[in-house]
Amino acid sequence: MHDERLVIVESWRAELCIDDADSIALYLRTWSTLGESAVFGSEAQRLIGDARRALNVSAR
């Protein structure tokens, strides 16, 4: 997201330049929600450790 006027979405096959207000608003809301649910530092390490234990994956 560049700003509230342009969102560029890259996929394996294309790059989309999105500039309509409704779609940009959706990307802004989605990005905000992802930011609110993000974890960092020791909390992220704990979450990753829990996931590894749940999958029974050993540290390498």
Distances (CA, A) of 16 to 9, 30, 43, 49: 5, 17, 34, 36
Q: What is the model's pLDDT at position 1?
A: 84
pLDDT tens for residues 4-60?
Answer: 899 999 999 999 999 999 999 999 999 999 999 999 999 999 999 999 999 987 655
pLDDT tens for residues 9-19?
Answer: 999 999 999 99
Distances (CA, A) of 52 to 13, 45, 59: 32, 10, 8
Q: What is the model's pLDDT at position 3?
A: 82
Q: What is the model's pLDDT at position 21?
A: 94
- CA-closest candidate to residue 10, choices 19, 20, 1: 1
Q: What is the pTM of this model?
A: 0.64
